[in-house]
Amino acid sequence: MSGNKDDWFSAPLPAVEPVQFDTSVAHPARVYDYWLGGKDNFGADREAAEQVIAARPSIIRDIRANRAFLRRAAAYLAAEAGVRQFLDVGTGIPTSPNVHEVVQAVAPGASIVYVDNDPIVLAHARALLTSGEEGTTAYIDADLRDPGRILQEAAATLDFTQPVAVLLVGILHLISEEEDPYAIAAQLLAAVPPGSYLAVSHPASDVNAEVVAEGARRYNQSVATPQTRRSFAEVSRFLAGLELVEPGVVQCHRWLPEPGASVQDYEVSCWGAVGRKA
C-alpha cells in the first residue's frame, strides 16, 4: 500500500474497552500464527503448537498450504468469477498478503469484511482496515457461532442483493458437531444471492489419519477451543447444492495450484473447495 495508512481507513472501529488477553491458554488464531512463522503468540500458544509439531512435523507445511489456498481462492474469485464483495469469517492474525490485498490488486473497488473473535485480531484490526481509496474494508468482532449478528453487521458494508464470496477457510473445524456447523454455513449462504460463492478449507481426518489424529489429540489438550477434523464426505456436505469450481473438493494444495507446482509429490491433510450458488 502506498501513502500513510491512517489516511486509508474506510470504516473506523467503534470505541471499545481495552483489549484483554488471556495468555495462559492457547488460542487457535495464535497457535496458527506460530505455525505460519508469526510473532503474535505467547508461551501457551507456542507450547501447544510444538506439541503438535512433535507428533506431526508436516503441520507447518499443511498450515501454509491452507493459507496459500486462501490466497488462490480469493484471487480466482476476484479475477475469474468477478466477485467484488467478500465476507472472510475466521480472519486470523494478519499475514500479508491478506484477502483485501489480494482482491484489491485485481479489483481496487472491492469491499471486504473481516470477522474474528480473537482479541489479538481485534488489536490488529486497524492494520486490517487499510484499503485503497476505491475499496472498502471493515472488521466485525464476532463469533462464527452467531451468523445472524455477522450478517446484520456485515450489511453495513456489503450489499446482499449482489454476489458475495463467503470465505470459511480454516475455521469450521472449530465448530463441534453439537454446534451444527452445517446449519451455520447454510445460514450464511442463504443470505447471499445467486452468483455468490462459498470457499471452504477444512483439516482432514482421512489423510494421514493416524498421525493427524494424534496431533489433534495433543492440540485439543492445550486449547480453549478444540478442533473437529472431518472427512472428504463430511467437508463435501458444506458445498452440497453448489456448482463446484473445478477440480472440486481436493487436498487444498491441489486446488488450482500455481503453474509448475509439484502438488502430486506429497499429501496435505486439508480439504479445500469453492462452490457457486446457482
DSSP 8-state secondary structure symbol assigned to residue 130: B
What's the CA gap between 76 and 250, in Å, rounded? 16
Expressed as residue numbers, the domain containing 174 is: 23-276
pLDDT of the residue at 125:
72
Residue 17 belongs to some domain of the structure: no
Residue 132 belongs to some domain of the structure: yes
pLDDT confidence tier of residue 21, bands split at 50, 70 and 90: low
Give the domain CATH number at 222.
Answer: 3.40.50.150
Residue 98 belongs to some domain of the structure: yes
Residue 33 belongs to some domain of the structure: yes
Residue 112 belongs to some domain of the structure: yes
Residue 153 belongs to some domain of the structure: yes
- As for how many domains the chain has, the answer is 1
pLDDT tens profile 166-225: 999 999 999 999 999 999 999 999 999 999 999 999 999 999 888 888 888 887 787 778
Residue 16 belongs to some domain of the structure: no
Q: At a CB cut-off of 8 Å and minimum separation 6, what does 237 contact?
A: 182
Q: At a CB cut-off of 8 Å and minimum separation 6, what does 243 contact?
A: 275, 276, 277, 278
What's the CA gap between 177 and 270, in Å, rounded? 18
Residue 3 belongs to some domain of the structure: no
pLDDT confidence tier of residue 106, bands split at 50, 70 and 90: very high
